[in-house]
Amino acid sequence: MTYPARIWRERHSRYRLVGVRCKKCGAIYYPPRPVCEKCKSRELEEVELPRRGKIISYTILHNPPVGYRDQAPLVFALVELENGVRVFAPLTDVDPHSVEIGMDVEAVLRRINRKEEYGVIPYALKFRPLIR
């Protein structure tokens, strides 16, 4: 099978949710950071995170940050992934009024547009309700 070069090059960042794990104490972070907050170790390795989780809390922004203005109102959620790691990211494909604590969601990694790339939030991760 052949892929257009760009898609092939971006396959990991687009389809995997990658964080880092501290080799010393095992703490996991997303987004990746260079130093462990708990033990100050700089030895962190990439680790793939589970894409599914539950909403722990959320907030509806009627004036979202630069890069998301055309999506208002925008829901930002704190999501606890299946391995316990907590990630703060916007929701997509959702009616803001239907969002609930405990809702099952899955990560979607979308190509970032130019505005988002230079915005204050440097990642293209979003979560959408999980349809069972």
- Written as six digits, the tokens of 94 are 């959702």
Q: Does 22 bind Zn ion (CB under 5 A)?
A: yes
Interface with Zn ion by CB under 5 A: which range of 19-27, 61-69, 72-80, 108-116?
19-27
**Structure tokens, 116:** 């988002």
Q: Is the dihedral of CA 17, 18, 23, 27 positive or negative?
A: negative
Q: Does 81 contact Zn ion by CB under 5 A?
A: no
DSSP state of 98: G
Using CB under 5 A, pick the residue from 36, 87, 107, 108 that binds Zn ion: 36
| Rounded Cα–Cα distance for residues 65 and 39 (Å) | 32
The reply on whether position 24 binds Zn ion by CB under 5 A is yes
Please identify, using beta-carbon distances, which residue of 47 and 99 lies nearer to Zn ion. 47
Distance CA 70, CA 59 (A): 17
Does 47 engage in binding with Zn ion (CB under 5 A)? Answer: no
> Which residues would be at the binding site for Zn ion (CB under 5 A)?
22, 24-25, 27, 36, 38-39, 41
